[in-house]
Amino acid sequence: MRNLITPHGLRLAASSLALGLLLAGCASTHGLEPKVRALDGDTLSSNRSLAEHKLSAADFPRQDWWTAFGDAQLDALIDEALQGNPSLDAADARLRKAQAQAGLADAARKPTVTASGQYSGVQLPATLLPPPEGGSYMGSTVLMLNFKYDLDLWGGKRAQWEAAVGQAQAAEVDAQAARLTLSSNIARAYVNLAQAYAALDVANDEHDRATHLRGLGEQRVKAGLDNQLQLRQAESTIASAEQQAQAAQQQIDAARTAIAALMGQGPDRGLDIARPQVLQAGPPGIPDVLPSELLGHRPDVVAARWRVEAASRGIDASKASFKPSVNLSAIVGLASGGLSDLFSSDALLGLGGPAISLPIFDSERLRGQLDASDADYDLAVANYNQILVGALHEVTDALQAARSLEQQIDASKRARAAAQSAWDLAQSRYRAGLGTQLDVLSAQRPLLQSDQQIAMLQAQRLNAAVDLDRALGGGLVLQQPNTPIANTVVSP
């Protein structure tokens, strides 16, 4: 078998490569570069906004942060939802697709060898050619091995693979973020369920107070001290309390159905959800390493960083296409007109050598491709910057809301105690004949309003705790790119 690549062929390839490098200068990357720069988290000042809230050296949330609410049923609901859910299935499918694309990009960097076998035959008519060719059957058998390898001289294929790996890493973080989102949504729906039960309690308490007042009114009417007007007013209050109880029950049913839907189950699953226990929200606190450490805990921030990394590698791949490419190929096989001499030395078939592609008159397409890659990078960086700013905003909002709501709850409880005292005094005066039913009704309204206000504020405080745990990353352990964003784009 003769050599497939001769010294003359090597000299020709080297000369062509040198010529290609010279001509490739016609397609220049000059003037094309990303325009957007990534924000440094430490430059986003938050010291004054968070200073008064750093009361303890709080850690980042645990991965099962919802257990801090102290309700075993909530723990079981979230655990069940995380075992299988349509939204999680979709995120996992996107991850598998991204990983498959990374595998394809990696395979494109490696040599390929394919084997083939073929038999073909032909019979030419004697009316076209005279014998012995005409009128006889001729067959041929070919066995071949085909070798191909695209040399990655400039790292373009490696950059494409790294870009695909970055996208796969981002998809993996997105899958984890989907679990954090799901658990947060279930926790919030569970808080809404607890609030609806609290509203039902408030309505029942109001109903009991109104019923008690009607009883006093009936006694006074029989004694000739009041007329039917006061009795009708008490009955109106009872009817209003019944309406509030019905509305609260509707909210309970809606919250149960919402939880069942979040779990990927039918509405009947919600019927099995019992009344929540008294949920507890611990004192709000944040780690003293914000904002820099937040970058490694927030799944949306980490995913955005991976996408910046992938876009940076896309720029490298586009720049590599400006330079010549060298491909190696070889075909080795056996060919014979009959099986008897197929494996003889005379049946050996060989073909191969390097192929060089020169981007000489393709400057407009290549520059457009690089410009698009630069724009993709700018979009990825802009999205990263926006997510980073939003992350700090969410942490600050949740922390400030938690602190403010605690103060509001304390003030509302004091107002409720005063309203209870006023109600008790109005009842005593009414029973003693020193006051009117109008006085009792006037004292009853602030008591109802205080109960409703406290129930609403307590639910908001619990939701603020959910928001803070989610804003701090939900305890997820995430793999980040090691390369700083500022250094991911290499110079031309």
Q: What does the pLDDT average to over 401-421?
A: 91
Pairing of the two strands 112-123 and 325-336: unpaired
Nearest to 67 by CA among 431, 486, 484, 475: 475
Supply the pLDDT for residue 223.
Answer: 62
Supply the pLDDT for residue 47.
Answer: 54
Q: What does the pLDDT average to over 25-45?
A: 64
DSSP 273: P
The most confident of 139-148, 246-255, 338-347, by mean pLDDT:
246-255
CA dist., res. 241 & res. 206, Å (int): 6
Residues 44-71: tens digit of each pLDDT: 555 555 555 554 455 788 899 999 999 9
DSSP 482: S
Residues 440-459: tens digit of each pLDDT: 777 778 888 888 899 999 99
User: Would you say 273 and 193 are in contact if contact means Cβ atoms under 8 Å apart?
Assistant: yes
Residues 78-88: tens digit of each pLDDT: 999 998 788 88
Which of 23-27, 89-93, 417-421 is predicted with the least confidence, judged by mean pLDDT? Answer: 23-27
Residue 174 has pLDDT above 50, yes or no: yes
What confidence tier does 123 reach under pLDDT thresholds 50, 70, 90? confident
Q: What does the pLDDT average to over 409-416?
A: 93
Q: What does 205-240 look like in DSSP terms, one character per residue?
A: HHHHHHHHHHHHHHHHHHTTSS-HHHHHHHHHHHHH
Residue 187 has pLDDT above 80, yes or no: yes
User: Would you say 4 and 302 are in contact if contact means Cβ atoms under 8 Å apart?
Assistant: no
User: Mean pLDDT over all residues of the chain?
Assistant: 82
Size of the chain in residues: 492
Name the more confident of 476 and 15.
476
Q: What does the pLDDT average to over 229-235?
A: 72
Please report the domains of the chain, with CATH numbers, ordered by start residue. Answer: 1-30+108-122+136-151+324-358 (2.20.200.10), 38-105+159-322+371-487 (1.20.1600.10)
Supply the pLDDT for residue 172.
Answer: 92
- For the whole prediction, is pTM greater than 0.85? no
Residues 301-324: tens digit of each pLDDT: 999 999 999 999 999 999 888 888
CA dist., res. 211 & res. 167, Å (int): 65
**With pLDDT > 70 as the criterion, what percentage of the chain qualifies?**
82
What confidence tier does 281 reach under pLDDT thresholds 50, 70, 90? confident
Residue 2 has pLDDT above 50, yes or no: no
- What burial class does residue 349 get, using C-beta atoms within 10 Å of its C-beta: 0-12 exposed, 13-18 middle, 19+ buried? middle
CA dist., res. 445 & res. 387, Å (int): 45
CA dist., res. 101 & res. 108, Å (int): 11
Q: What does 119-156 look like in DSSP terms, one character per residue?
A: EEEEE--TTTS-TTTTT-EEEEEEEEEEEEEEE-TTSH
Two structure tokens written together for 91: 């995120």
Supply the pLDDT for residue 161.
Answer: 92
Residue 121 has pLDDT above 70, yes or no: yes
CA dist., res. 460 & res. 474, Å (int): 19
Residue 126 has pLDDT above 70, yes or no: yes
CA dist., res. 168 & res. 96, Å (int): 8
Q: What does the pLDDT average to over 359-379?
A: 87
Residues 325-336: tens digit of each pLDDT: 888 888 988 888
User: Would you say 324 and 358 are in contact if contact means Cβ atoms under 8 Å apart?
Assistant: yes
Name the more confident of 404 and 233.
404
CA dist., res. 162 & res. 109, Å (int): 11
User: Would you say 65 and 475 are in contact if contact means Cβ atoms under 8 Å apart?
Assistant: yes
Name the more confident of 261 and 85.
261
User: Would you say 310 and 485 are in contact if contact means Cβ atoms under 8 Å apart?
Assistant: no
